[in-house]
Amino acid sequence: MTKLQHRFLQPQNTDALHDIVSDWDVVRQLEAWPWPPDRSFTQSRCRPYDGDGFVWGIFEDDVLLGIMGVTKGDIGYCFRQSAWGRGIATHFGRLAINFAFQDPALTKITASCWHDNEGSDRVLHKLSFCQLGEQVQHAFARDEPTLCYKYLLTRTHWDGLRSRGEWTIAAAQ
């Protein structure tokens, strides 16, 4: 039986995270991760986040599957391909949203994904984000203007889902 868990990233996670972001199919979907992979950039991310919000490492049996966080009111995540399609992003997304909304000052969480990231689009819809619109912005790894979908989830909407029993920690498992 596998055990999924989240915890803050540590320097010893550098090799595993660098392996994840050395996969073009993963990193091309990220907003600001460099390509080709830069080990020093990856290493700078392998420590507890000290800004506004949090970033978790997501582990299965102590193997890093990816990262998930809410920073500056924006949810973001990336996972190695072996984790895609297994419901892991949705599960930890619910946990992350619940955790983020414990901050009484946070009234909304934003998100974005590239137009060709169907998996992330599905995850954001499952998490009850509403698509606000789209815009073209520079994709760092792709090094080109790319169509980006923008999303929003308000605390009011999330609390309504939770009060109706639609999103609970138990439902996320």
Ordered structural domains, the chain, with CATH: 4-163 (3.40.630.30)
What is the rounded distance in angstroms from the CA atom of residue 83 to the CA atom of residue 64? 10
Cis peptide before 36 (omega within 30 of 0): yes
Residue 38 neighbours by CB distance under 10 Å? 13
- The answer for residues whose C-beta is within 8 angstroms of residue 48's C-beta and 6 or more apart is 8, 9, 10, 55
Give the HSE-up count for residue 96: Cα atoms under 13 Å, Cβ half-sphere.
33
Walk along the chain (173 residues) and give the pLDDT tens digit of each residue: 579 999 999 999 999 999 999 999 999 999 989 999 999 999 999 999 999 999 999 999 999 999 999 999 999 999 999 999 999 999 999 999 999 999 999 999 999 999 999 999 999 999 999 999 999 999 999 999 999 999 999 999 998 887 766 655 444 33
What is the predicted pLDDT for the residue at 166?
Answer: 62
Contact 100, 53 (CB under 8 A): yes
Q: Dig out the tokens for 52 from the structure.
A: 């506004």
What is the predicted pLDDT for the residue at 151?
Answer: 98
Q: Dig out the tokens for 125 from the structure.
A: 């819809």
SS3 per-residue string spanning 117-141: CHHHHHHHHHCCCEEEEEEEEEECC
What is the predicted pLDDT for the residue at 111?
Answer: 98
Q: Give all strands (DSSP E) within 35-143, no chain letters.
A: 53-60, 63-71, 74-79, 108-114, 130-139
What is the predicted pLDDT for the residue at 1?
Answer: 59
pTM of the model: 0.91
What is the predicted pLDDT for the residue at 33?
Answer: 92
